Structure 1
Amino acid sequence: MTTAAYPYAVADLADASTLVRFGCQPRLRPLAIPQYRDLLQRYRLDGPFREAVDAYADGLDLDVMEAHQAEGLILHPREGSWLSYRLKDHPKLGVKDRLVLGLAHVAIAARAYPTAAGLEEEGIERVSITEVDDFLRRLTDRLREAAVDADGLAVPHPELQAAWRLYAKLPPSRPTATGRLSESSTQRVIKEALDWLVEQGMAYRADELGPGHYRLAHRFRVQVREAAASAAFTVLCDLRRAHLVEED
């Protein structure tokens, strides 16, 4: 009878699972947590340890996208994973609400990263609620034009078309009696999208720049790169680039 030899010590496996646990808490920053910082450094330099971490993440239906010195282990749940988040999983959102909120998320990404080069750079991008709202409202006519091709036939992006039509019907901002934005305003929807990114460690509030301003983290750029082939993102980026050319 022979005894199989495992390539990893128990302590190594424990360290690998700890690093993945840190990565599953996207608001943690390794520079503030010595153990996280050290495990991240080990992931980058130690091949066998990196394989153990990748295997542990794989078992959880996660892909390791990047080991970033400042933002930590960036994980991406695979489509259909029990860890993935979908707008339809939101218990309080109806179909129309999901369409508009989804459009807001795509618009934030397209506003910040309209080009392939922008998705590869590591510069900090800043957006504000009003900028994203103005961006979408300026593109309403362009989106209407993009809904048909040169022969006048409908372009097959029904969800995008339904989303911008719903968006165009909402007022930009409707303050409540307490001074907060009304739930039925587009700026409230954009704020909800940006605040969700903050909760996921993909954005930071930048109140020093003015009310409703945010900084987008590198973690958000990585996630956008993963979804950059989506039809809605492609359409909005094309329109955003065309608008930038006109501004020049």
Structure 2
Amino acid sequence: MTVPMEDVWAAAELVAFGLRSGARPTDGNAYGLLLERYRTSTAFRDAVDTVAGGLGLVVLGAPPRSGLVLTTQPGSVFAVRMADLRGGNLSADDKLIAGLVVLGIAAYAFPHDADLDAAEVKIVEVAAIDRFIRDAVDRLPEEDAYRRAADVYRRTAAFKPKDRQPGPARGCTQFAVLEVLGWLVERGAARQMPQMGPASYQLTDRFRLLVADMAGGEALESMRAVRAVRAEAPAAATEGA
């Protein structure tokens, strides 16, 4: 069956919206209308998936609040790398810490498989993420990259104050957590929550679907297991009281 050119154009437009981290669908705007069409029309959904596939992209989902969630196939020109942080000006140790922070945020927010299917709002805070990663690094698998990342994280100071300004300074792990969360904000995977504190962030459905896509990796699953035990411990203590 031949797909009308106007449908191909609309499919490409929706993919373009999905690639813009700042685009938000609403009931009345063009993005919201195209997203609703994707969710309700099989033919249009197939057209969008085909256009995305031709660009080296895969559609992970289309939640109403976050919009079209895309991930990249290997070699895609749209691939987002941790090396893109700080304009690519990261040292080898910085890259290891940043990668560990992404895993830590994912494990902290989504310790159970059921969490990856729920649209529950997840709020994270910089110092809490940093403490969790420090607790969890000893459980990482004994592969060179993971072990080295854990060693670098452990020997890096948790907090260094800025001169005459609030917040952590560059060169500590809390700054790395803050930097990664800012990177996620730029990609529509998180939002700042200043009303809950300057270091608090809400993770979006976009991040949840991306975590679901990368779940199964040994390092991530090791950290999720630690978080699951920590989350269940207070409930167990309450029951035994």
Does TM, normalized by the shorter one, top 0.5? yes
1:20 corresponds, among 1, 15, 19, to 15
Percentage of identical aligned residues: 31
- Aligned pair 1:215/2:202, yes or no? yes
Aligned-pair CA distance for 1:181 = 2.1
User: Aligned pair count?
Assistant: 232
Matched, 1:161 2:156: no
| Contact 1:65–1:222 (CA under 8 A) maintained in structure 2 | yes
Q: Give the AA of the match of 1:205.
A: Q
Query: Which amino acid is the alignment partner of residue 214 of structure 2?
Result: A
* Equivalent in the alignment of 1:240: 227
Say if 1:174 and 1:185, in contact at 8 Å, map to a contact too: yes
Bigger Cα displacement from structure 2, 61-70 vs 218-227 = 61-70
TM-score, length basis structure 1: 0.88
Kindly state the Cα deviation for residue 200 of structure 1 after the two structures are TM-superposed.
Answer: 0.5
State the 1:242 CA deviation: 2.3
Residue equivalent to 1:40: 35
Match of 1:135 among 132, 136, 139: 132
CA RMSD of aligned residues (A): 1.7
For structure 1, the 5+ residue unaligned runs are 1-5, 148-154
Q: Does 1:104 align with 2:91?
A: no
Shift of 1:32: 6.8
Higher CA-based Rg: 1
Aligned to 1:59, which of 51, 54, 57? 54
TM-superposed CA distance for 1:229, in Å, is 1.2
Runs in 1 of length 4+ with deviation above 4 angstroms? none
**1:31 alignment partner, SS class:** coil
1:118 has 2:115 as partner: yes
Distance 1:66 1:245 in 2: 29
For 1:195, which of 157, 174, 182 is the aligned residue? 182
TM-score of the aligned structures, taking structure 2 as reference length: 0.90
Contact 1:157/1:231, CA 8 A, preserved across alignment: no
